[in-house]
Structure 1
């Protein structure tokens, strides 16, 4: 979570009252019965949300703290619910890897304010070592309980990657899910930038050639992924030293989708993090496509960044460079791959 100097999120419209003057009755209802409020104070902010720390004394006298994340407007309602269902799904499998989600809901006394409540952990803002993070993350992805309940790609609820809504309608193939995501993010990004004929041409070729070429040969099982695992959504628990992930926007996806965004240099993950993960969860076949699949997945996140940081044209430039590289490398698309080097159709 990026802290703002004055504690006010930079992307929240003006006019919303301070959500931390008092504890809203609907938040109180989510606390353990008999809880006594000790303190509620601002704890920094994200771009989109107010962040507070809520300290209480439980009925048995135990001190307990919660993180209260409050986001306005209808989008905030969706983001609060999406984070709660995502973190709940992760916690059910790996309670040693995520803080315990408590509840989500809407304020009673401030119209159009929505909250997500989670147990408070004191975190150290640093990346875990490659082996430490990979051990925890692969144990999530390889857990049988992380398998999609439908066998398809998607999620039972709408979730969010930051402020970007996911269309999680179930898809039978990973290619169809990802292609839909890419089309949606391209359309969203265009709402914040001037028309770009070169981008439109490249995007058309990526969807028609590159996505089928890199994703259709895969035979992968959808697993639960965090969905937005950049460096600011992972830290170390100060008490235990273990990795902790948060701010999730889950989807049942190709597991490599989780680490594809680690190729974005701005996210501070190293090649060692990727290699450590792949030693425990080897790349899918065709293994030789792994690096380019990662670029494709990272490009989807770059489109989100271009939408959010609409004042900075460098993200669109990065998207175009990645597209050009992939389009030039795979001009023949899936059909060329299927025929093989000697012109005989592969058994796919």
Structure 2
């Protein structure tokens, strides 16, 4: 069962969204602007010299705040239905990855609500450099993060977060297959049924959930800290050429689930070789890889529509023959 050649009608739409230039005007005084207030107090700056829009996306606005104490990266959004939870989840995820001391992560400083609606997050500004020949280092550093980031609570995360703008439920479970069935595939299948009335995908997905236990036979499933949304738009390199990952949807899960966005991540042979040198490949990896891809195809279907349905349904149609 190989779907490497399947290309969705709209590949990696978030990449195009993030290339769009968005503009945000900061409030004039610090008294009604919590971003400015934090930078000029806890951020230890005495003046903000420039606010520069640096490209946002479909979901958030992004700005660089230049100060006499360096630069800060600030994201804002105006999603009342998501509220503060999106940036809380991002901040907690960034902190968890940062604390593994493995791969470079922008350090989060502050998140909160905006007085006129919406929310914000302030984090370390990372100057990006040349994004070349980092595949091998990226694979090794990602494996180091997976090895260092463990949780005795099992599979899940301390807060719920979002994958794109879709809520991602992270209630703790001691059983990975149960967690992935209920909070990943099951949740997305319910969304597809609610939003599109897609009973075909829903029914095929439920059949897969009931029969996918054999896909994990022989594999050692450990709880690892995952970035959760690792694709090319969330990977770069700093000015020293070291890989940087950001915009996470973190949780503790099976390490292989990290490759669910591989169809949009441009991972090469050097990446996998370096990764598996530290985290040995488990039996059945290639069969499970598309199971994890299915979660993200379903999410893209729910977020962006029918251009992703064919990729999801192709995987669903093949899996019963394997199980």
User: Shorter-chain TM-score category?
Assistant: 0.7 to 0.9
Contact 2:155 2:175 in 1 (8 A): yes
Cα displacement string for residues 235-259 of structure 1 (whole angstroms, at most 9, x for unaligned residues): 011x211000000111011111112
Distance 1:250 1:57 in 2: 33
1:164 aligns with 2:166: yes
Query: What secondary structure does 1:45 align onto?
Result: coil
1:251 aligns with 2:251: yes
Q: In structure 1, what is the equivalent of residue 277 of structure 2?
A: 279
The equivalences for 1:200-279 within 5 A come to 200-210=202-212, 212-215=213-216, 218-237=219-238, 239-262=239-262, 264=263, 266-279=264-277
Q: 1:139 aligns with which of 137, 141, 144?
A: 144
Instruction: Between the two structures, name the one with larger relative contact order (CA 8 Å, sep ≥ 6).
Output: 2
- Please report how far the alpha carbon of residue 90 of structure 1 lies from its aligned counterpart in structure 2 after TM superposition: 0.8
Query: What secondary structure does 1:39 align onto?
Result: strand
What's the TM-score once normalised by structure 1's chain length?
0.80
Q: In structure 1, what is the equivalent of residue 317 of structure 2?
A: 324
- Please report how far the alpha carbon of residue 128 of structure 1 lies from its aligned counterpart in structure 2 after TM superposition: 5.0
Distance 1:131 1:34, change over 3 A: closer
In the alignment, structure 2 segments of 5+ residues that lack a partner are 1-14
Q: In structure 2, what is the equivalent of residue 46 of structure 1?
A: 57
- Please report how far the alpha carbon of residue 119 of structure 1 lies from its aligned counterpart in structure 2 after TM superposition: 1.1
Contact 1:260 1:293 in 2 (8 A): no
Q: 2:92 aligns with which of 68, 74, 85?
A: 85
- Please report how far the alpha carbon of residue 6 of structure 1 lies from its aligned counterpart in structure 2 after TM superposition: 4.9
Distance 1:216 1:106 in 2: 46
Distance 2:61 2:53 in 1: 8
Query: What secondary structure does 1:188 align onto?
Result: helix
Q: In structure 2, what is the equivalent of residue 25 of structure 1?
A: 33
Query: What secondary structure does 1:73 align onto?
Result: coil
Q: In structure 2, what is the equivalent of residue 113 of structure 1?
A: 118
Query: What secondary structure does 1:221 align onto?
Result: coil
Q: In structure 2, what is the equivalent of residue 342 of structure 1?
A: none
Cα displacement string for residues 19-72 of structure 1 (whole angstroms, at most 9, x for unaligned residues): 5354653113332245321111221111101111111113xxxxx001110011
Query: What secondary structure does 1:98 align onto?
Result: coil
Q: In structure 1, what is the equivalent of residue 67 of structure 2?
A: 56
What's the TM-score once normalised by structure 2's chain length?
0.86
Query: When the two structures are aligned, how many residues end up with a matched partner?
Result: 301
Contact 1:154 1:170 in 2 (8 A): yes
- Please report how far the alpha carbon of residue 226 of structure 1 lies from its aligned counterpart in structure 2 after TM superposition: 0.7
Distance 2:92 2:27 in 1: 27
Distance 1:127 1:190 in 2: 42
